[in-house]
Amino acid sequence: MQDSRDVERELAQSLKKLAVEKPFEKITIKQIADGAGVIRVTFYNHFQDKYDLLAWIVRRDIFNPVKILLSNLMYRQALILIFTNLRRDRDFYMRIEKIEGQNSFSQIVEECAEKLILDLLRERGIDEDLKISPQMTPEYISRYYANSMCYILLDWIRNGMTESPEEMATIYAHLGSHSIIDLLNVNLD
């Protein structure tokens, strides 16, 4: 009997292969299951639908690997790893980036990034320190930064991933560490 993680990995590989060959919308659960060498019921024992599998892939391949780096304050290395992992499956991500609608790729990426950032804020004990207004909660801040990360990741994918992961990490780090006020050199006093 196969280990549950092995089945999930096989289903993920099957979806990745199919997504490079045909539009995501045309991929069926049966095709994914067949490609993994399992029956449809087995697919549904692990995932609700192909969008749930896609979210699992994004979490596993892109965001989960950086958690240990972030916990050890290795932010630049975490950013480089995110871009490197996206580029590793370039054909797949360039195809699925086009998924729109309720379960869009951008929505999945944003939700995964938001959870990662929120967990990091909580792990670092950054909660009450942020409340310069009632709206300034860790959830609000994580949504803000997840949105910006999603924009940069998607723009990079849409433009063919031509810049290196190191260059993209530098761009994101610069934008993430400077406000528009800093960039415009504006004095608000």
| Mean per-residue pLDDT of the chain | 91
- Split at pLDDT 50, 70, 90, the class of 179 is confident
> In the block, which residue shows the tokens 């972030």?
70
Q: What is the pTM of this model?
A: 0.89
Question: What pLDDT does 130 receive?
Answer: 61
Question: What pLDDT does 168 receive?
Answer: 96
Specify whether the CB–CB gap between 35 and 12 falls below 8 A.
Answer: no
CA-to-CA distance for 138 and 55, rounded, in angstroms?
A: 23
Specify whether the CB–CB gap between 27 and 43 falls below 8 A.
Answer: no
Question: What pLDDT does 186 receive?
Answer: 65
φ, ψ (nearest 5 deg) of residue 162 = -80, -35
User: Per-domain residue ranges for the chain?
Assistant: 1-47, 50-179
Q: Report the CATH fold assignment for 50-179.
A: Tetracycline Repressor; domain 2 (1.10.357)
Q: Which pair of tokens denotes residue 123? A: 């792990």
Q: What is the mean pLDDT of residues 59-71?
A: 94
Going by C-beta distance under 8 Å and a sequence separation of 6 or more, which residues neighbour residue 81? 65, 66, 69, 165
H helix and E strand count, the chain? 11, 0
Specify whether the CB–CB gap between 77 and 121 falls below 8 A.
Answer: no
3-state secondary structure of 139: helix
How confident is the model over 102-159, as pLDDT tens digits? 889 999 999 999 999 999 888 888 765 566 677 788 888 899 999 999 999 999 999 9
CATH code of the domain made up of 1-47: 1.10.10.60
